[in-house]
Amino acid sequence: MLEVKDLHAYYGKSHILQGVNLTIGEGEIVSLLGRNGVGRSTTCKAIMGEVPPKGSVKFRGKELVGLESFEIAQAGIGYVPENRDIFPGMTTRQNLLLGLKPGQKEEDSRWTMEQMFDMFSNLRRRADVEASVLSGGEKQMLTICRTLMGDPDLIMIDEPTEGLAPKVVQQVGEMLEQIAKRGVSILLVEQKLTIALKISARVYVMGHGKIVFEGKSADFEKNNDVRKEWLEV
């Protein structure tokens, strides 16, 4: 579904991504692991066109490099950034409706607002309050649900469990598994190895702007050398 080849990206003169290669299949959950500052978030932003990419990013065989971010979203890729961007002056319900693409009807999507509320009852209870008063966990739920309202075929989620209580982390993990069961592929950028390894079929590990390990989750768990060199503090 997604094929990234020789992806490079820069911030000014800083060469952040240095030839990243990765693939994601239909309905597959793939985790992108690594320490802070190695380029994981930049990889998502480059795929999404928020950072000018050099190389090739193909989605269902179509080249995305050179397209605007909104065109990439319309092609079927959703992106949940790390900073949990919401519209604080709007209600939870209004935030969710903003996830719909132009001309898209909610009933035509595989995800409806009712389904979002069924998965996260907190959002139902707070549907008509301003999003600014939501807790950190509720804001994370809202940003994921808002992206799903656009009915993406692939969703990139950056650090969804950062700063969340263990119970909410479990809820997010369960939601990601539900998303994949509905045929949506997931690229998960995550620090918590427990959740990444539990739900991912494969993992990539980044170091210094490059992929330093690629393999099945079970193989990664057995590879103490990779964990020690590229993940442990």
CB 127 within 8 A of CB 93: yes
pLDDT at res. 60: 96
pLDDT at res. 172: 85
Backbone angles phi, psi at 143, to 5 degrees: -65, -40
Please give the CATH topology (third level) of the domain spanning 2-230. Rossmann fold (3.40.50)
pLDDT tens sequence across 102-114 = 887 777 778 889 9
Which residues in the chain come in under a pLDDT of 70?
Answer: 233
Residue 42 has a CB neighbour count (10 Å cut-off) of 22
Q: Can you tell me which residue has the tokens 């590879």?
A: 223
pLDDT at res. 103: 80
The DSSP symbol for 130 reads B
User: How much is the mean pLDDT over the chain?
Assistant: 92
pLDDT at res. 58: 98
pTM for this model (two decimals) = 0.92
Residue 214 has a CB neighbour count (10 Å cut-off) of 15
pLDDT at res. 44: 97
Closest to 193 in 3D by CA, of 205, 208, 181 = 205
Nearest-10 crossing angle of helices 166-181, 136-148 = 10
pLDDT at res. 233: 62
